């Protein structure tokens, strides 16, 4: 069995088993990978020659992509490539510059045997957000692989245009050049859609932070709208006053590692108890709680909690982030095909001096100032100085740095907004405040 060879950028090696080739890309940061089938002029023959997460197989089935956030694999049968395909390039784009990466490599296996290891070096010195990792290319009647590691500042657009794939500019809409729908949520069932969960969608936010010398890391899956979280959050948000005691008890039980809780329904009116039971039944149907039982004699509700970590995070307070994001996306879906925006949840930012923070929700209407929403279903008072400093360091007006809190009344929210030069909102006032800014 031949030993695995490590290549440096610019080196090449023969491919001995071109029919069963696997290329694996491993990264410390989320990236979107793409393969480009190239003719003799170095350009794709058409859009069908770009194989990526949204088009995971070539038209002839000779290239297949299995895309993940930090690991992607391409399976290639080079013996089945059309005669006019001379090269196949492997590249990626991401929201973060290469300087944010801890590691990045491409590994090649032939018929299950690891043959080539291609680590990208000097990551800390590089600011590109897209990279050509390498290419398989014909040499006479054989195939070889070349490790390239060539970067592109600006991300997906210059990378794809390098290979003849047209990517529209952000300002082409205003110039009348954009011909295709820019709004990924327009005319789709967006609550069952994952078109936002990719690096390209996050790129405008990454660029905005980069212009302020701030590194930003994104969890693309945090805006994957498939599943029930967004719908459950909308339900909880619409009834947050009624549910406040229940949600506080759930949060307390999780923090103290209790498996369940008992909610006394005597303080509630009959109509309120009925609404509470209906919501708990919906949470059970969505597997967000494990079991529930209504004790008619004692007029109390017994709930066994679901211990899965995603559910703990959601019911422990994460639901308010989903509620904020869902409100904004619901409005974005109504804005028409040409509306452009970027959004993210759980953005990790790092300032030039090394200070690190996490932003709950970020929403950027292209060409405007982003909205940052901190979602507080519990205590927020001890963090007010931190939020005020963050707003100032991000150079945002008070109207664009929001504290969304569930235990505030409207009058109190208005008073706090005047005192702290931040915007405090209740769930029902979130969207009305945001509408003029998006």
| Residue range 335-373, pLDDT digits in tens | 888 888 999 999 999 988 888 999 999 999 988 899 999
The pLDDT score that the predictor gives to residue 338 is 83
The pLDDT score that the predictor gives to residue 371 is 96
The pLDDT score that the predictor gives to residue 317 is 87
Cα–Cα dist 72/66, whole Å: 6
The pLDDT score that the predictor gives to residue 366 is 87
User: Three-class SS of residue 263?
Assistant: strand
* Span 172-190, average pLDDT: 52
The pLDDT score that the predictor gives to residue 154 is 65
Virtual torsion, Cα 349, 92, 126, 222, nearest 10 deg: 10
The pLDDT score that the predictor gives to residue 367 is 83
Virtual torsion, Cα 54, 149, 220, 209, nearest 10 deg: -130
Cα–Cα dist 17/78, whole Å: 9
Q: Looking at the predicted structure, is the pLDDT value of residue 54 above 70?
A: yes
Q: Looking at per-residue confidence, does 152 or 31 come out higher?
A: 31
Map out the domains of the chain as residue ranges: 5-167, 190-221+341-437, 229-306
Cα–Cα dist 309/318, whole Å: 11
Virtual torsion, Cα 406, 411, 414, 415, nearest 10 deg: -110
The pLDDT score that the predictor gives to residue 2 is 62
The CATH number of domain 229-306 is 3.30.1370.30: yes
- Condensed to tens digits (0 to 9), the pLDDT of residues 32-50 reads 899 999 999 999 998 889 9
Q: Backbone phi, then psi, for 110, in 5-degree steps?
A: -120, 115
The pLDDT score that the predictor gives to residue 32 is 85
The pLDDT score that the predictor gives to residue 276 is 93
Q: Looking at the predicted structure, is the pLDDT value of residue 83 above 80?
A: yes
Q: Which CATH class is domain 5-167?
A: mainly beta
Cα–Cα dist 94/72, whole Å: 13
What sign has the CA pseudo-torsion 316, 320, 97, 72? positive
| Reported pTM | 0.59
What sign has the CA pseudo-torsion 348, 352, 353, 354? positive
The pLDDT score that the predictor gives to residue 285 is 92
- Span of 169-173, 224-228, 325-329 with lowest mean pLDDT: 169-173
The pLDDT score that the predictor gives to residue 49 is 92
pLDDT tier, 110 (very low <50, low <70, confident <90, very high otherwise): very high
**Fold held by 190-221+341-437:** Trna Endonuclease; Chain: A, domain 1 (3.40.1350)
Q: Looking at the predicted structure, is the pLDDT value of residue 199 above 90?
A: no
The pLDDT score that the predictor gives to residue 236 is 92
> Taking Cα atoms as reference points, which of 28, 132, 40 lies closest to residue 86?
40
- Condensed to tens digits (0 to 9), the pLDDT of residues 249-305 reads 998 999 899 999 999 999 999 999 999 999 999 999 989 999 999 999 999 999 999
Average pLDDT, the chain: 88
Longest CA–CA span in the chain (Å) reads: 85
The two three-digit tokens of residue 10, written as one number: 């610019």
The pLDDT score that the predictor gives to residue 176 is 36
The pLDDT score that the predictor gives to residue 17 is 94
Q: Check: CB of residue 128 under 8 Å from CB of residue 152.
A: yes
Q: Check: CB of residue 342 under 8 Å from CB of residue 204.
A: yes
Q: Backbone phi, then psi, for 242, in 5-degree steps?
A: -65, -40
Name the pairing type of β-strands 113-119 and 5-6. parallel
The pLDDT score that the predictor gives to residue 115 is 95
% of the chain exceeding 90 in pLDDT:
56
Q: Looking at the predicted structure, is the pLDDT value of residue 152 above 60?
A: yes
């Amino acid at each position: 069995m031949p030993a695995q060879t490590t290549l440096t950028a610019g080196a090449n090696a023969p491919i001995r088993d071109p029919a069963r080739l696997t290329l694996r890309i491993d990264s410390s940061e989320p990236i979107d990978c793409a393969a480009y089938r190239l003719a003799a002029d170095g350009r794709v023959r058409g859009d069908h020659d770009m194989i990526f997460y949204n088009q995971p197989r070539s038209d002839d089935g000779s290239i297949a992509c299995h895309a993940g956030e930090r690991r992607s694999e391409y399976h290639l049968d080079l013996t089945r490539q059309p005669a006019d395909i001379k090269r196949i390039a492997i590249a990626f784009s991401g929201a973060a510059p290469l300087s944010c990466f801890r590691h990045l490599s491409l590994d090649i296996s032939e018929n299950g045997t690891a043959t080539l290891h291609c680590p990208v070096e000097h990551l800390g010195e590089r600011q590109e957000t897209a990279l050509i990792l390498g290419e398989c290319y014909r040499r006479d009647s054989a195939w070889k692989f070349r490790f390239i590691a060539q970067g592109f500042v600006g991300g997906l657009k210059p990378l794809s245009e390098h290979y003849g794939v047209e990517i529209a500019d952000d300002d082409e809409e205003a110039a009348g050049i954009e011909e295709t729908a820019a709004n990924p949520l327009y005319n789709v069932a967006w609550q069952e859609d994952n078109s936002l969960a990719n690096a390209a969608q996050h790129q405008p936010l990454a660029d905005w932070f980069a212009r302020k010398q701030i590194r930003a890391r994104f969890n693309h899956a945090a805006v994957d709208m498939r599943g029930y979280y967004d719908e459950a959050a909308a339900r909880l948000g619409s009834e947050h006053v009624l549910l406040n005691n229940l949600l506080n008890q759930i949060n307390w039980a999780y923090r103290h590692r209790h498996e369940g809780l008992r909610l006394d329904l005597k303080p509630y009116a009959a109509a309120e108890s009925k609404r509470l039971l209906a919501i708990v039944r919906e949470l059970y149907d969505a597997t967000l709680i494990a079991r529930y039982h209504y004790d008619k004699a004692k007029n109390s509700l017994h709930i066994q909690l679901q211990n899965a970590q995603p559910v703990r995070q959601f019911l422990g307070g994460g639901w308010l982030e989903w509620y904020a994001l869902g409100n904004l996306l619901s409005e974005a879906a109504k804005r028409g095909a040409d509306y452009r925006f970027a959004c993210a949840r759980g953005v990790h930012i790092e300032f030039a001096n090394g200070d690190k923070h996490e932003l709950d929700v970020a929403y950027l209407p292209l060409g405007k100032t982003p909205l940052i929403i901190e979602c507080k279903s519990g205590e927020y008072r001890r963090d007010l100085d931190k939020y005020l400093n963050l707003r100032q360091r991000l150079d945002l007006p008070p109207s664009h740095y929001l504290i969304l809190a569930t235990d505030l009344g409207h009058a109190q929210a208005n008073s706090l907004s005047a005192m702290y030069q931040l915007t405090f909102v209740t769930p029902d006032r979130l969207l009305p405040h945001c509408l003029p800014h998006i």
